[in-house]
């Protein structure tokens, strides 16, 4: 009966947790117009917090420091936007020449298909027209969704700076809210959890910005070596697309590859662009990001990919950007709650023990499911016996050396015993006077 009650209680708690999760996701989905600006504001305020603290140390006032920090962020983002728009306009001036080269590339491709596979040009054009008609059918929906989201984008451009200012200005007020909300939890634990969330998110954001700068330089160097025009633009644009984890650099390589295909005489330039970007992505994923971000943002790749897919389903493009910092925050919260600690462990990265050849045996021994193999016990016994034999040998050597020392003293004479005692020098006690 007790086991049935425990299983029923566990099933009810699990069902209630799943129901609560579904309700939270539904609320986030239907209130995305407010939630998304708020989430972006939280990330930006965490990133701007050190700058606001610097201005406060200069005694500029808390409100003015928050406003100045937000202005700095607006200037930087506006500069990046101006750079992308200006370079796009410059590239658009040569659109006619690029279009002519693209048409010549298509004609050469048609001729190659006809000579190699016997496919007539009319069939190729018919397939292209068919795919074009299918794409045009969806243009209306895409345009309506795009123009429909312009209002939300404009609202976000106003709400994000406003939310960011209040999050910086009222940060101590919000911290006390968490102390009051979790009054049954030790205040030190709440304080440590908030600091941990701040450290994780800030490490992710600052590390991401640093990695984006390094990747922009590497992309630009590769494009310059290949002789691709507007190398800085394409290299920087590809690095900015790293906001989309795992797929950003791959998407960013498409535009310079098409541009190289349209402006160069050989298709090998486009292949070289794609190959170089793949090399940069390999360096970023295996060398640059692990050394810069470190182990503070410890999310295993499987959970990261699932989080990105779910974020894209719920929030679209913004969900792809917010997925990893949100999952990192959720992991910190789960680690702080004893009942959710297992799920925090599931999100984190595996230990070295989990990836070894005999990891299953080690795991079963760790949790006491199986005993330690007898072979290891024999090894331990043999090692102990060898150690005891070595100790006995050392004792024999020490005793033999002592015996040899005594024998030598008997032959030579002990220097301490060669000298007579003070009583033998003069038996008369008055002789000492």
Q: What is the pLDDT, as a whole number, of residue 417?
A: 44
pLDDT, tens digit, for every residue of 321-355? 899 899 999 999 988 988 888 888 998 888 888 88
pLDDT reading at 400 higher than 90: no
The DSSP symbol for 421 reads: P
- In 10 A of CB 59, how many CB atoms? 8
Q: 56: which 2 tokens?
A: 């406060």
The C-alpha atoms of residue 238 and residue 282 are separated, in whole angstroms, by 14
The C-alpha atoms of residue 145 and residue 389 are separated, in whole angstroms, by 83
pLDDT, tens digit, for every residue of 145-190? 444 444 566 667 788 999 999 999 999 999 999 999 998 889 999 9
Q: What pTM does this model have?
A: 0.72
pLDDT, tens digit, for every residue of 351-389? 888 888 888 888 888 887 877 765 544 554 555 555 565
For 293-296, the CB contacts below 8 A with 24+ separation are 293/203, 293/204, 293/207, 293/208, 293/211, 294/203, 294/207, 295/349, 296/199, 296/200, 296/203, 296/204
Contact 335, 344 (CB under 8 A): yes
Write phi, then psi, for 287 (nearest 5 degrees).
Answer: -125, -55
- In 10 A of CB 305, how many CB atoms? 13
Contact 308, 323 (CB under 8 A): yes
Q: What is the pLDDT, as a whole number, of residue 249?
A: 79
Higher pLDDT, 319 or 142: 319
Please report, rounded to a whole number, the percentage of residues in the chain having pLDDT higher than 90. 23
Please report, rounded to a whole number, the percentage of residues in the chain having pLDDT higher than 70. 68
Sign, Cα dihedral of 316, 321, 324, 330: negative
| Lookup result for tokens 């060669």 | 418
* Window from 76-80, 132-136, 303-307, 312-316 with minimum mean pLDDT: 132-136
Q: Do you know the residue count of the chain?
A: 433
């Amino acid at each position: 009966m007790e086991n049935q009650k425990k299983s029923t209680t566990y099933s009810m708690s699990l069902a209630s947790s799943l129901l609560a999760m579904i309700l939270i996701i539904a609320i986030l989905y239907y209130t995305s117009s407010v939630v998304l600006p708020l989430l972006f504001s939280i990330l930006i305020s965490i990133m701007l917090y050190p700058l606001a603290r610097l201005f406060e140390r200069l005694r500029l006032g808390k409100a003015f420091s928050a406003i100045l920090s937000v202005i700095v962020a607006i200037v930087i983002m506006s500069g990046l936007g101006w750079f992308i728009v200006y370079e796009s306009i410059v590239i658009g001036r040569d659109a006619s020449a690029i279009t002519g080269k693209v048409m010549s590339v298509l004609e050469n491709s048609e001729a190659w298909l006809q000579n190699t596979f016997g496919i007539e040009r009319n069939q190729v054009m018919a397939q292209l027209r068919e795919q074009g008609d299918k794409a045009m059918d969806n243009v209306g929906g895409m345009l309506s969704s795009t123009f429909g989201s312009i209002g939300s984008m404009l609202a976000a451009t106003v709400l994000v700076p406003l939310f960011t200012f209040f999050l910086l200005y009222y940060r101590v007020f919000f911290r006390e809210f968490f102390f009051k909300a979790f009054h049954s939890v030790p205040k030190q634990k709440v304080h440590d959890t908030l600091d941990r969330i701040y450290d994780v998110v800030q490490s992710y954001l600052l590390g991401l910005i640093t990695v984006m700068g390094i990747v922009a330089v590497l992309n630009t160097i590769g494009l310059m070596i290949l002789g691709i025009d507007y190398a800085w633009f394409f290299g920087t644009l590809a690095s900015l697309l790293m906001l989309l984890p795992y797929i950003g650099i791959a998407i960013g390589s498409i535009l310079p590859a098409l541009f190289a295909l349209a402006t160069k005489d050989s298709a090998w330039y486009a292949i070289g662009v794609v190959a170089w970007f793949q090399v940069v992505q390999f360096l970023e994923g295996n060398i640059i990001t692990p050394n810069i971000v470190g182990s503070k943002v410890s999310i295993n790749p499987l959970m990261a990919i699932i989080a990105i897919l779910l974020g894209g389903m719920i929030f679209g493009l913004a969900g792809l950007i917010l997925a990893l910092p949100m999952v990192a925050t959720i992991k910190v919260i789960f680690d702080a709650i004893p009942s959710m600690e297992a799920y925090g462990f599931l999100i984190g990265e595996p230990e070295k023990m989990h990836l070894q050849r005999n990891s299953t045996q080690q795991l079963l021994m760790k949790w006491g499911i199986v005993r330690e193999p007898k072979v290891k016990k024999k090894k331990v016994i043999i090692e102990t016996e060898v150690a005891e034999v070595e100790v006995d040998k050392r004792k024999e050597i020490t005793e033999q050396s002592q015996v040899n020392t005594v024998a030598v003293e008997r032959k030579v004479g002990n220097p301490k015993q060669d000298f007579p005692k003070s009583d033998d020098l003069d038996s008369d006690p008055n002789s000492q006077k």
